[in-house]
Structure 1
């Protein structure tokens, strides 16, 4: 069969009728033209450009991927639930962003509290206390101790969970609490735990126990449950009786994550978690209740709803900052940028996945060039190959501006997430410094304003992080092979495909 010329330089066999070929080319052109005006709507330019690049290179695959993954917001019904709960909590606090004495707070910090309250509806409170936990396994033992002492209820919400030799006691404590009449509610992200040894066993145990548990953000279209599959609940929260809570970066799984590849390489995850008492316990509970309501339509009766009341002074001031695709704004990113721009002397960042958007890069490089000392802790190794390559593409710009980069030694997988600013600001939570945590994951962050606690954080940096890290050798880094730079830049493009 003779070839048919479609373009001057291309000849293809006429496998299809001419009208089919010309129709496909016309649709291809329409996709490109429509995408130019449609994709940028209400998206950051970097995100829009990433999608446009994918669509122009592979139009049919690109547009299908966009239709499946292009919206970084949860369904409107779920966002409406979030708005309803936010209004409920604002009514409880009578619109106060800071409960109690705030006269001593510097203006940048009081405005940070106001920003967080406007975005997330939870206030800054006095009367809190915190214990730091740096050992994953020891922390889970303390969680189990607290669950064993529970009298009224336990709320459990984590991204990755599995039964193994390390976590077994905690899950036995949860089921024992349920059996003795404690109201136990469990939320587990539907996708986060899939594929981890011990998860299937856990599901069977939970199903047979009769405990109240739900999959968070389930992807089960045959049951009418569907949203963009990579929008996930990445929060880590345990609340016991409204009296104490745990939160931070830690999942409920052995620190090797039980996979053969990790065991073979000797990978051990290093996390940072908080045990909390005071009014922030009720704020963490408010985040759990919102997520439970979103999944079940069950809103607890008034006897079990958290009351956002707080002492007027004393203790540590702190505020819980929820964020994610259920909100209209990127709450955590706005807080980080606001605090960074108001730093005067020192910024310390620890993030396992550091792939900043343009606004965060501007904030960090601006402050570094202004004379603020910035120390960035990242892992020498990572469990996400593409993310690590994308992260590496930012090193040159950061060190050129004066940011010092410290790599935590392998085979430890650095998973702690914290931010320290000047003398009295500490941030600890589940949020990484990347596009996924800003726009696609449901996260929870603890914003702490206290000099003594911040001193503890600097001491932790000096004792646990600095001695086990090596500063990036800038000259050696810049001499890396051209192929490495190419791969990093390609990986960097993928970070904006929200």
Structure 2
């Protein structure tokens, strides 16, 4: 046996051993499709594939952050009995109780009654509503946004925060660290908050040399405002101009369309519990949770609702489990609005199965998008949906439909920060609200009617026969969605 042959055999054996070890390590607690994609990447481009896996292949937050989440969860379960009082249990669909229990087991927050909820589909109107609420604050204002920028559009919001601090109100602000690096006026925004006396903390900062290693692409994608535990806001909108201040967007005339909700009632304290969790995670200071008794009013317009926090600080994909369960429960109609629609296998199967069961299913997305890779990846799913009978509406350019919500039959709706995509299911910290109430769902249907009127409906035959030069980038981009 020659030396060259021996060395070659040894290298081959070493390569096979590395592949086996890699496959076992990568596949642990991971979707098969994701594991296969990572293994192939490491096998065919060993150095770059391994480096990419080490950077973005591990989908959990550091232990101390997960322990803080677990601590908050225990405190939430131990709060004053009666916080889960609801007002319309007799109107719930038969299946809703099991989903409420699912959400409590996963996210620790109960379904609460006595809430007044209003939809805010106007970009400037929602900022105005938040300003009006902040101007009533006497104790505290909690602000948490994925993107938070002081600009010409948001300046009145910051002015309201300054007026609050001048009155002696405690103002605490959270915004995502890495995302903030991508937008202008970051230093100016922080200085304005400091000058007014507000406390600001970055969410998920990168501190690799301080023993806090985490995936750099994990983001806190939540958006919420809480005023004195009495008024709350959440939804899809970031605190930035509707162009997102990007030169390319401005040249193309792009602007974002959002949906926020204004909440009064016991649900506000549940939204604040999400803020308290994130503030604790970033500052190490645990704010007091509201445990005062809940009083349910008799007004029939008050609704039952539940806050669903999700993200890599939890052991489960809370939002994915809820979304899939809801889709399977639908009997008549499902309307989904998601600007970034890149579902995992379970979500896609649930949707096409619902359509096959005779449920009327529709998806609202955008004709234009700001993220090229995601834009092409989501287009690769349209054929399967269209073949199943799903109606797809693309909101006309130059508006980017950024709202994130869906409704099931006439009874239940979800509104929040979560897209129907793998990133929102696995990597982003999200917050959603499940609302039970026919009047509320009807109001959301009217918003969806406006979307439909401003959209182009995809024709199945035209889509199936589109040129290959369009299909190729779509299919290639879809492959990247498994690298999670």
Smaller-chain TM-score range? over 0.9
Q: Distance between the aligned counterparts of 1:389 and 1:350, measured in 2?
A: 17
- Give how far 1:199 is off: 2.4
Q: Distance between the aligned counterparts of 2:55 and 2:4, measured in 1?
A: 31
Q: Map of 1:145-224 to 2, 5 A cutoff?
A: 145-222=132-209, 224=211
Determine the structure 1 residue equivalent to 2:40.
53
Partner-residue secondary structure (3-state), 2:180: coil
- Give how far 1:272 is off: 0.2
Whether 1:310 aligns to 2:290 is: no
Distance 1:394 1:101, change over 3 A: closer
**Is the Cα contact below 8 Å between 2:224 and 2:271 reproduced in 1?**
yes
- Give how far 1:28 is off: 4.4
TM-score (ref. length: structure 1): 0.92
- Give how far 1:97 is off: 5.9
- Give how far 1:80 is off: 1.1
Determine the structure 2 residue equivalent to 1:483.
469
Determine the structure 1 residue equivalent to 2:369.
382
Q: Distance between the aligned counterparts of 2:82 and 2:23, measured in 1?
A: 42
Determine the structure 1 residue equivalent to 2:396.
409
Q: 1:398 aligns with which of 378, 385, 400?
A: 385
Q: Which moved more, 1:165-174 or 1:92-101?
A: 92-101
**Is the Cα contact below 8 Å between 1:108 and 1:342 reproduced in 2?**
yes
Q: Map of 1:39-50 to 2, 5 A cutoff?
A: 39-50=26-37
Q: Distance between the aligned counterparts of 2:83 and 2:269, measured in 1?
A: 16
Determine the structure 2 residue equivalent to 1:11.
none
Determine the structure 2 residue equivalent to 1:420.
407
CA displacement, residues 368-418 of structure 1 (integer Å, 9 cap, x when unaligned): 001000010000000011001110111111111111101100000010011
Q: Distance between the aligned counterparts of 2:277 and 2:292, measured in 1?
A: 14
Partner-residue secondary structure (3-state), 2:429: strand
**Is the Cα contact below 8 Å between 1:98 and 1:113 reproduced in 2?**
no
**Is the Cα contact below 8 Å between 2:343 and 2:422 reproduced in 1?**
yes
Distance 1:362 1:162, change over 3 A: same
- Give how far 1:30 is off: 3.7
> What do you get for the CA RMSD once the two structures are aligned?
2.1
Q: Map of 1:43-442 to 2, 5 A cutoff?
A: 43-92=30-79, 94=81, 99=86, 102-222=89-209, 224-301=211-288, 305-307=289-291, 309-312=293-296, 314=298, 315-442=302-429
Q: Distance between the aligned counterparts of 1:405 and 1:467, measured in 2?
A: 13
Distance 1:48 1:210, change over 3 A: same
Distance 1:312 1:244, change over 3 A: closer
Q: How many residues align?
A: 479
- Structure 1 gaps of 5+ residues are 8-17
TM-score (ref. length: structure 2): 0.94
- Structure 2 gaps of 5+ residues are none
